[in-house]
A and B are shown apart, each in its own frame.
Chain A
């Protein structure tokens, strides 16, 4: 018997009992939708995490340290130590931020950072701030060494900050005030979001928002700390290393140095890089994903057992038909193929519905948990379809073999 014939027969029997077929499919639909949603969720999470950490800067190490022992100038010591790692390091910048609420004004416009979503952060760094944080100058210039030394009241704007303060006007050489202190704009950074390859998640609003938040910044010389943070020294630095191979070395060196400098009861310190944080989060996420994957696998298994159950009922119900088919010359093989194709088709059709439900579910989950348009990748879709057909074949096998083994005379007696 030809395959095409077998498919036709299977379709016939599936559509001759639509209600039953639909019920059978339900298990597969739910199982497959669960798999698609969970896998897509995991992929969305991974993509978001990757983009998020990349926006923090690549090949950077972030270090902060603080002590209550006033005889140690941690800030200076840390800075000097970082500079000393010059074999591995290409740049070091203080990475201070203004803690208090700020009032940014230009002409008649005043922005208070009350709304977190539009808040402009003020950072204090040096001439290597852009290099270390992966900001590139779009127009104008970076802060210079002299700006730091001379306490020049100049600033560099992130693209979002420039947009918010100046709208369509040209910010270069204009003067803004921060908490009443005037700063002249000497440069504007390129947007981090611009030209960022977000891969499959191009309309990934959540990530874009996170990255835009990075663009919502103003950089002022690190020596300005006296006007903003009550002259507290900046105790956080960003170190740009030469290559990713240097990250581990620099992290280890800094940890060693700082643990010698600061003992447990007179301060604290932390050393890390977006890369290592991402690796740690990946590990945690992988564990979570494996757990979710297990649940999805169980739901698929339950769906498969449902298929087997229904196929067994079908075989019993159609014993007489099997007898007739055998009487007129069907070989075991033909009967097996017929029931397998039937099971595979039920699962395949169920799989299509499952993919549909999975798409909708993924969209909803993406909206709720990331606030983005999340779509299952082609790989997941094709894989899900293949799994559903395979399930039909695996769980249809036992009923099919059972059906084919019936003696024709026995099967014909059934009613």
Chain B
């Protein structure tokens, strides 16, 4: 089992009147090679779940076992390593660094990993080719369309060849055609063995996943194939 979370709670302003239980006792298993879509209404807790799965956030309560090791109480440094090596992130807002070119953005995780220059060059161009952005390597984010930026963001996510890709509404800001293209890339990656966790509120996109998890008010309310979940 690749990912296992047990009784995860994320509670904001706990004990106060403004308390929000973004995650209210969530348990989930994800196996290597799965393509999981997490769906739910806006504010249901999807992003919170992904941030915790991706070690970007820490749960208020609960345990997280990644690839057989409990990482619940890991140090900042160890979590940084995990984010760098094990997980690639794709965000709705692309989150590229504006001052850097496409090449430099994709290179960044490799730099933090300590990959030598000659190897980086190879890996960056390989990743950019995979998303058909190799010819735009010199461009800055402001000089690219949303779809192109998202493809560069995907290239950055896959440059280190992480076993897991987490995407939070990756098509949310794109028109349907470009969105489809991005989805295709994710499927290709999954066919090559990468575990994909895709967050979306679009049922049509979720329907392309083999497994769908529905979340509502911080609870998992359904988990299964799209038929089982009722898409």
A interface list, Cβ under 8 A from B: 1-2, 5, 12-13, 16, 320-321, 323-334, 407-409, 412
Could you tell me which residues of chain B, from 77 to 114, have a CB within 8 Å of some CB in chain A?
77, 80-81, 83-85, 89, 91, 95-97, 99-100, 108-109, 111-114
| C-alpha spacing A329/B156, complex, angstroms | 12
| C-alpha spacing A13/B85, complex, angstroms | 26
B132 at the interface (CB under 8 A from A): no
Residues of A within 8 A of B41 (CB): none
A408 and B56 form a contact (CB under 8 A)? yes
B19 at the interface (CB under 8 A from A): no
B89 and A328 form a contact (CB under 8 A)? yes
B216 at the interface (CB under 8 A from A): no
Residues of A within 8 A of B95 (CB): 320, 323-324, 327, 412
| C-alpha spacing A201/B188, complex, angstroms | 76
| C-alpha spacing A163/B109, complex, angstroms | 79
Residues of B within 8 A of A332 (CB): 76-77, 80
B202 at the interface (CB under 8 A from A): no
Residues of B within 8 A of A328 (CB): 83-84, 89, 108-109, 112, 156
B97 and A334 form a contact (CB under 8 A)? no
Q: Which of A5, A13, A321, A409 contacts B56 (CB 8 A)?
A: A409
B27 at the interface (CB under 8 A from A): no
Q: A327-B56, A329-B109 are in contact. List 4 more A-B contacts (CB 8 A).
A: A12-B99, A323-B95, A332-B76, A409-B56
* Interface-central residue, A12, A324, A332, by most chain B CB under 10 Å: A324
Tell me, rounded to whole Å, the shortest Cβ–Cβ distance linking A9 to chain B. 9
| C-alpha spacing A329/B56, complex, angstroms | 10
Tell me, rounded to whole Å, the shortest Cβ–Cβ distance linking A320 to chain B. 7
Residues of A within 8 A of B85 (CB): 329
B76 and A329 form a contact (CB under 8 A)? no
| C-alpha spacing A330/B111, complex, angstroms | 9
Residues of B within 8 A of A324 (CB): 95-97
B31 at the interface (CB under 8 A from A): no
Q: Which of A13, A321, A331 contacts B112 (CB 8 A)?
A: A331
B51 and A409 form a contact (CB under 8 A)? yes
| C-alpha spacing A12/B108, complex, angstroms | 14
| C-alpha spacing A13/B81, complex, angstroms | 25
CB nearest to B85 among chain A residues: A329
CB nearest to B55 among chain A residues: A408
Q: Given contacts A12-B99, A320-B95, are A1 and B112 in contact (CB under 8 A)?
A: yes
Residues of A within 8 A of B111 (CB): 1-2, 5
B89 and A334 form a contact (CB under 8 A)? no
CB nearest to B91 among chain A residues: A412
| C-alpha spacing A408/B57, complex, angstroms | 7
B57 and A330 form a contact (CB under 8 A)? no
B76 and A2 form a contact (CB under 8 A)? no
| C-alpha spacing A320/B111, complex, angstroms | 19
Residues of B within 8 A of A407 (CB): 56-58
| C-alpha spacing A329/B112, complex, angstroms | 6
CB nearest to A330 among chain B residues: B112
| C-alpha spacing A407/B160, complex, angstroms | 22
Could you list 16 examples of A-B contacts with CB < 8 Å? A1-B111, A12-B99, A16-B99, A321-B97, A326-B80, A328-B84, A328-B89, A328-B109, A328-B112, A329-B81, A329-B160, A330-B84, A331-B77, A332-B77, A407-B56, A408-B57
Q: Mark B50-82, 1 if CB is under 8 A from A, else 0.
A: 010010111000000000000000001100110
B114 and A1 form a contact (CB under 8 A)? yes
Residues of A within 8 A of B54 (CB): 327
Residues of B within 8 A of A5 (CB): 111
Residues of B within 8 A of A408 (CB): 56-57, 83
Please list the 10 inter-chain residue pairs (A to B) with the smallest Cβ-Cβ separation, ordered nearest first. A329-B84, A409-B57, A328-B109, A329-B112, A408-B56, A331-B80, A409-B56, A16-B99, A409-B51, A324-B95
B57 and A327 form a contact (CB under 8 A)? no
Residues of A within 8 A of B83 (CB): 326-329, 408
Residues of A within 8 A of B156 (CB): 328
| C-alpha spacing A323/B93, complex, angstroms | 13
Tell me, rounded to whole Å, the shortest Cβ–Cβ distance linking A12 to chain B. 6
Q: Given contacts A326-B80, A329-B83, A329-B84, are A334 and B112 in contact (CB under 8 A)?
A: yes
Tell me, rounded to whole Å, the shortest Cβ–Cβ distance linking A323 to chain B. 8
Residues of A within 8 A of B96 (CB): 324
Tell me, rounded to whole Å, the shortest Cβ–Cβ distance linking B86 to chain A. 10
CB nearest to A329 among chain B residues: B84
Q: Mark B21-60, 1 if CB is under 8 A from A, else 0.
A: 0000000000000000000000000000001001011100
| C-alpha spacing A323/B80, complex, angstroms | 12
| C-alpha spacing A330/B97, complex, angstroms | 14
| C-alpha spacing A12/B81, complex, angstroms | 25
Q: Which of B56, B58, B99, B109 contacts A412 (CB 8 A)?
A: B56
| C-alpha spacing A326/B109, complex, angstroms | 10
Q: Given contacts A1-B111, A412-B56, are A330 and B80 in contact (CB under 8 A)?
A: yes
Residues of B within 8 A of A16 (CB): 99
CB nearest to A321 among chain B residues: B97
Residues of A within 8 A of B108 (CB): 325, 328
